[in-house]
Structure 1
């Protein structure tokens, strides 16, 4: 843990705001301008792990190349002298995780559609570049204020994002995003993502998922925002996997929604078969009618 007042590049740390398995996030201030930023620093324990460092640097490179109003912006990146890499990101003070925890019973239809639409725009921007986020969840949706009815929502954390092989070779020829990324070794059995939001195919082979896995995760998130609960809950990983693979989601919990169109959209997004799910552009059209 870095002390308050420490400098990371041109940023002075104010306080630690989050601590994850592989990195810590601090609120910081840019020297001179005083602009608030989020400073993400890789933990020392992972500084000798080539794959972890590659993922961290790839996240910064993707954020640098994929500029979108609905994806958290990169301010700077670098490495501490003799220490871990870091990136400075646009500062957003709230997360959807915090908002849902406070709301308890879910959000209004307008608020849920507003947040989902903004995140769908961010995901569409990734998908158009051949990138799959692979870890959509409330903690990775950041807000510029706590009221979701008026907040700007942005997609965060591309640490597990994946460039499909079919896009990577073409990108290398064209000099696009994939050509700037470092190779990462992902074992075929590696389970990448957050269990509660993972599509059936992501449980079976995380490294080969396509954009429709993000559509499923957004369907889970939209269901959660509208009902205040997840569609599938279990006490252990194996049981939760079986629910995502084989059980129908409790769609009756959406009966309070006046719109059959929205219920049908969520049903399609949560389909077990990826080819039956809409693509992200098809998700945006129905959501726009509730904004």
Structure 2
């Protein structure tokens, strides 16, 4: 059995509580003087030029990348600055510039203030050749990990072709594909950086499902596959009218696939677009309160979503003409990321877009909480009522630094017509210091309903 790759930060200079930090799974680490930094540096005379949130380490062993946030004196890699704001610039002005990132490797040294770390990268070397599971091309140059299944970049760019291949292989003797056997693709419903989702119909039963494909950006090791699918078992157990049911999940040929409840009304973000960028207050409150019902049930079962946005709040048109909101993809995207399957997602050109993400999910990558989900749903409500995000994301500003440093703008500054009693509830829900305003979905739902009734 091969050992998982690791990334180690060893303290070379400076005074910290620990002298070594070992990472053997996907994470991020923020370096700086702020209390919420995962690698907190001393607030002393040797670190006066270190910013509260100075730089970000994006770690997915054996890969590690560093990104400077526009600090006063920059971050040094092997003695060379990779980011520094100019003399006279404020942190806000500096943040509008794009600062370089650097991939780090074994033996590199990074310096922040008077603290120096040496990077250690350990990966078990093998002469094994890695071939794309679909086209068979040698892709050894695309991945440093040799003991996993991998799809080349060209095949990842065609998720529909990959899905059709899996459906063609879904015969009775292929037990791993049994959950998608007998389905026919009807149309593509959407696609993103991690894959695509199609509407599919079962040939004999006529059942229609959303058939989703997720394409890992790294070689899939056995441990990562098992970790991710274990989380999906918890999600499959969720049964509630305001949760889109996950029917099945599986893995084959370097690809993860899922079947889930198909919601005929599309997603909330599409509804908002069709309505000119915002919804009436009554409609927005009704949809979010339904989503909070589903969220409360999941939290009682110990399941955290971690990635709520209007795109994964789905709408189902009921027989009587009413519409029911259902949260989809419970834990899917973030569990994929936490298992290391989506590569480096906090840096690079394809860095995530944390428009609806609470600060804690940047500063504390692993420990997402129920309150974080509540904050995200409050951000969704804010967005569908105002057409804007709670935080000001200036063009070219580092989005992660915005999340770490900027509070939500009071909602009536975006939309003065929102009743003050309702605005007070939304603003409270988007507080993050010292704690998130509403700790449970039930608390937020009750406060919204009371505000509506009193208006």
TM value normalised by structure 1: 0.78
| 1:68 equivalent in structure 2 | 240
Is 1:119–2:278 an aligned residue pair? no
Shift in Å, 1:196: 0.6
- Report the structure, 1 or 2, having the larger strand content: 2
Structure (1 or 2) with the greater helix fraction:
1
* Equivalent residue in structure 1 for 2:384, among 189, 200, 225: 225
Give 1:235's match in structure 2, choosing from 375, 395, 403: 395
Deviation at 1:275, TM superposition (A): 2.4
How many angstroms does 1:59 deviate by?
5.1
Shift of the 239–159 alpha-carbon distance from structure 1 to 2, 3 Å rule, reads closer
Residue 441 of structure 2 corresponds to which residue in structure 1? 280
Following the alignment from structure 1 to structure 2, what is the Cα–Cα distance between the partners of residues 53 and 194? 25
Q: Does 1:264 find its partner at 2:424?
A: yes
Please give the per-residue CA displacement for 1:111-167, whole angstroms capped at 9, x wherever unaligned. Answer: 101111111112112222233211001111111149xx94211111121456xxxxx
- Cα distance in 2 for residues equivalent to 1:274 and 1:215: 16
For structure 1, the residue ranges without an aligned partner over 5 or more in a row are 163-182
**1:98 CA displacement:** 0.8
Larger Rg: 2
Query: What is the aligned partner in structure 2 of residue 207 from structure 1?
Result: 366
Task: Supply the distance in 1 between the matched residues of 2:327 and 2:378 (Cα, whole angstroms).
Answer: 15
Aligned-partner Cα distance in 1 for 2:216–2:302: 31
CA distance in 2, matches of 1:40, 1:69: 21
User: Could you tell which deviates more after superposition, 56-65 or 95-104?
Assistant: 56-65
C-alpha separation in 2, matches of 1:103 and 1:59: 36
The aligned counterpart of 1:20 is 192
> Equivalences for 1:42-61 in 2 at 5 Å?
42-43=214-215, 48-50=220-222, 53-54=225-226, 56-58=228-230, 60-61=232-233
Secondary structure, in 3 states, of the residue corresponding to 2:425? Answer: helix
1 CA distance for matches of 2:192 and 2:327? Answer: 17
Residues 72, 52 of structure 1: CA spacing in aligned structure 2 closer, same or farther, 3 A cutoff?
farther
Deviations 1:186-233 (A, max 9, x none): 9xx975974111112222122123211112111111111111221222
Q: TM-score, normalised by structure 2?
A: 0.52
Alpha-carbon separation, structure 2, partners of 1:5 and 1:208: 37
Counterpart-to-counterpart distance in 2, 1:39 and 1:254: 38
Is 1:92 the equivalent of 2:263? yes
How many Å separate the matches in 2 of 1:137 and 1:51?
29
Counterpart selection for 2:213 from 41, 64, 68: 41
Which position in structure 1 is the counterpart of 2:90?
none
Deviations 1:216-255 (A, max 9, x none): 1111111111112212222246256336633441432243
Give the Cα–Cα distance (whole angstroms) in 2 for the partners of residues 112 and 51 of structure 1. 41
Secondary structure (helix, strand or coil) at the match of 2:435 reads helix
Pairwise CA RMSD: 3.2
Larger RCO, structures 1/2 (Cα 8 Å, 6+ apart): 1
Residues 160, 196 of structure 2: 8 Å contact kept: no
| Matched pairs, number | 265
Deviation at 1:26, TM superposition (A): 1.1
| 1:253 equivalent among 414, 419, 442 | 414
